[in-house]
Chain A
Amino acid sequence: MGMTITEKILCSHTDLAEVHPGMLINARVDIALGNDITAPIAIAEFKKAGGTSVFDREKVVLVPDHFAPNKDIASAEQCRVMRDFAREQEITHYYEVGIAGIEHALLPEQGVVLPGDLVIGADSHSCTYGALGAFGAGVGSTDLAAAFMTGEIWMIVPESMKIVLHGKMQKWVSGKDLILYIIGKIGVDGALYRAMEFTGGTIRDLTMADRFTMANMVIEAGAKNGIFIPDRITEDYVKTRAERSYLLLDSDPDAVYHSVVDIDVNRIEPQVAFPPLPSNTKGISQVGDIRLDQSVIGSCTNGRIEDLRIAAKILKGRKVASHMRLIVIPATQEMFKSAVKEGLVDIFLEANAVVSTPTCGPCLGGYMGILADGEKTVSTTNRNFVGRMGHRNSEIYLASPAIAAASAVLGRLGSPGEL
């Protein structure tokens, strides 16, 4: 029986000849990732269990990004726990503020994650790595602690869902719109416990940035992982970054799928997810008059340089509506530097936007743009749950960088076509 790419990656990290959905396996991990919120718990668990040295200091990755640069004393303490551990264990991939960024944008950029890898991260958006043809799944801190000790993770092999995308993307439609549309179609548990494998003719038109955005949000449909078959675009992205060998895999023609979801991309317009779930999607022509207080462009979903370029294109020579705040957060230090060099930051500043150093910040209601009672924001992030970005009565509308930028100028939800 054939295997899907997800099954092949999992299998290659065990001593088994083949794996199939439903099997409980213990798999070796290539990367075990933690951040300033989840790693401190993992470190405490690791020590409590008598752990003295991690299974492989090259394979543990620690990134302060959620509340870093430290937002307050408590977060400073958490970051210190992680920093001290990184020093003590001589962790190769510890990224300090100033070279770091948001983990899921940073690791691919730095060539830390490569195609064929098995990545577990104590962060739910660790599914982002599927864009590279790797297996990435979010786990908890205890899983991370166990992986620190054993280098392994227990996992039930997921069934795969094939998402077939065909057709051409309309103007201003991006990977964000495609994934929002898909989540709107299948629901927030539409892929629960499963792998979402993206295929079809449209994939050839998707940049790596689009693919990262899409793989990033599969967790919003409940999926274990999302995955793209690596192609020339993937190879062009990784070949200059990789410092070790990698594996380009494909699904077998006779691989078995749980289901196939067919998506006609031609008909998709830019999407907005209304609060309080990422599945409450509407086409931009259907949103009505939603007056906004804030717009956020950033996060592991849409804070990449490509996203900033689109936003700058729309904001150039324009101003943010006087009743609104626009917050732009490049996802990594390298992306921030590029944005400065390319003149994007100038455009943002001239438009009256605030530009921040890389951080998760407002995405999880941490800091840098918290919402007051009743305020509304459009955001390029991935979750619009109640209270996610501030007060429980605030509202989050998820959209692409193009919509977030245009809306900042319009003062309400709207598209670049209206400018």
Chain B
Amino acid sequence: MNFTGKIWKFGDDMDTDLIIPARYLTTSDPNILGGNCMEDADPDFVSKIRKGDIIVAGKNFGCGSSREHAPIAIKAVGIACVIAKSFARIFYRNAFNMGLPIFESPGLWDRVSNGDSLTVDGDEEWAKTIDGSIFPFKKMHPFMRELMTDGGLMAHIAKGRVK
């Protein structure tokens, strides 16, 4: 699981209302949700990003609501993965459960700028910045890794591998 993409930086405590406001929760259509992703944080976000780009955020990314519409929107708009200093717990579950790759790196945020290119090795769990510095991710629980590899919880259950 490797990605190379342009970085979009967001700060601390990016809540789910910023990721996808409740006014769009009358649908679960990924196209509509993706088309309005981050609207209240950055109204131009959707028009600026390209498929494969990467979000690098501060602490507590995804705090607030349990809405799975948030990871759906991020995935649908084409974001390859989200790297944050830390994630709010329901968002964290949701991302793994529905197959949006996310990684924790306390140090990366301060060392990258908006628009930089970033290379991510999801299997070895690190990111490499444009100056060649490597930032290892916080080690993932083996179960979380299984979920990520299987592409989410339902696929995982279908494989009959729930412990």
- Write out the residue numbers on chain A whose beta carbons fall within 8 Å of the beta carbon of B97: 140, 142-143, 146
| A386 lies within 8 A of B41 (CB) | yes
Interface set, chain B 37-79, CB cutoff 8 A to A: 40-41, 59-60, 63-69
| Stretch from B2-10, B84-92, B113-121, B122-130 that touches the partner | B84-92
A364 within 8 A of B: yes
Q: Is the CB of A26 within 8 A of B163?
A: yes
Given contacts A38-B67, A66-B25, contact A146 B88 (CB under 8 A): no
B22 is an interface residue with CB less than 8 A from chain A = yes
Query: A141 within 8 Å of B by Cβ?
Result: yes
Interchain CA distance A67-B27 in the complex, whole Å: 12
Residues of the B chain whose Cβ atoms lie less than 8 Å from the Cβ of A66: 22, 25
Give Cα A419–Cα B11 distance, bound, in whole angstroms: 41
**0/1 string, B13-37, CB within 8 A of A gives 1:** 1010110011101111000000000
| Residues A74 and B27 in contact, CB atoms below 8 Å apart | yes
Max chain A Cβ within 10 angstroms of own Cβ: one of B17, B23, B59, B143? B17
Contacts of A122 in B (CB 8 A): 66, 68
Report B44 CB to chain A, min CB distance, Å: 13
For residue A140, which residues in chain B have a CB less than 8 angstroms away from its CB?
A: 66-68, 90, 93-94, 97-98
- Given A150-B162, A387-B17, is A143 in contact with B93 using a C-beta cutoff of 8 Å? yes
Name the A residues within 8 Å of B163 (CB-CB). 24, 26
Q: Which residues from chain A contact B27 at a C-beta distance below 8 Å?
A: 74
**Which chain A residues (48-105) contact chain B, with CB distance < 8 Å?**
48-49, 66-67, 71-72, 74-75, 78
A-B contact count, CB below 8 Å? 131
* B63 with A188: CB separation less than 8 A: yes
Q: List 10 A-B contacts (CB under 8 A).
A: A37-B69, A45-B154, A138-B90, A140-B97, A142-B94, A142-B153, A277-B13, A385-B17, A386-B18, A392-B40
Q: Is B141 an interface residue (CB 8 A)?
A: yes
**Does residue B101 face the partner (Cβ distance < 8 Å to A)?**
no
For the complex formed, measure the closest distance between the CB of A224 and the CB atoms of chain B, giving whole angstroms. 6
A154 to chain B minimum Cβ distance, whole angstroms, is 7
A213 CB to closest chain B CB, in angstroms? 18
**A226 part of interface (Cβ distance < 8 Å):** no
Question: Chain A residues with Cβ under 8 A from B21's Cβ?
Answer: 365, 387
Q: How big is chain A's contact interface, by range?
A: 35 or more
On chain A, the residues within 8 Å of B69 by CB distance are 37, 41
* Residue in B closest to A194 when the chains form the complex, CB atoms: B89
Instruction: Answer whether residue A231 sits at the interface, using C-beta atoms and an 8 A cutoff.
Output: no
In the bound complex, do residue B98 and residue A224 qualify as a contact, i.e. CB atoms below 8 Å apart? no
A48 and B154 in contact (CB under 8 A), knowing A143-B93, A189-B63, A386-B18? yes
Contact A154 B66 (CB under 8 A): no
Q: Is the CB of A388 within 8 A of B22?
A: yes
A141, B68: Cβ atoms closer than 8 Å: yes
B134 within 8 A of A: no
User: For residues 206 through 236 of chain A, which have their beta carbon under 8 Å from a beta carbon of chain B?
Assistant: 219, 222, 224
Taken together as a complex, chains A and B put the C-alpha atoms of A24 and B59 apart, in Å, by 23
Known: A74-B26, A192-B86, A365-B21. A142 touches B154 (CB 8 A): yes
The answer to whether A387 and B40 touch across the interface, beta carbons within 8 angstroms, is: yes
Q: Is the beta-carbon distance between B68 and A142 smaller than 8 angstroms? A: yes
Contacts of B28 in A (CB 8 A): 40-41, 44
List, in ascending order, chain B residues with CB within 8 A of A154's CB: 143, 153, 162
- Add 15 more A-B contacts to A38-B67, A386-B18 (CB < 8 A): A37-B25, A40-B28, A66-B22, A122-B66, A138-B90, A139-B93, A140-B93, A141-B66, A141-B68, A142-B98, A154-B143, A154-B153, A188-B13, A383-B15, A387-B21
Q: Which residues of B contact A67 (CB under 8 A)?
A: 25-26
Q: Is A248 on the interface with B (CB-CB < 8 A)?
A: no
Say whether A193 contacts B63, CB under 8 Å: no
How far apart are the CA atoms of A152 and B162 in the complex, in Å? 10
Q: How far is the CB of B26 from chain A (nearest CB, A)?
A: 4
Decide if B66 touches A192 in the complex (CB within 8 Å): no
CB distance from B51 to the nearest CB of A (A): 23
Instruction: Give the nearest-CB partner of A25 in chain B.
Output: B163
Contact A145 B63 (CB under 8 A): no
* Interface membership of A302, Cβ < 8 A: no
Which residues of B sit under 8 angstroms from A386, Cβ to Cβ? Answer: 15, 17-18, 40-41
Contact code string B143-163 (vs A, CB < 8 Å = 1, else 0): 100000000111001100011
A366 within 8 A of B: yes
B64 touches A124 (CB 8 A): yes
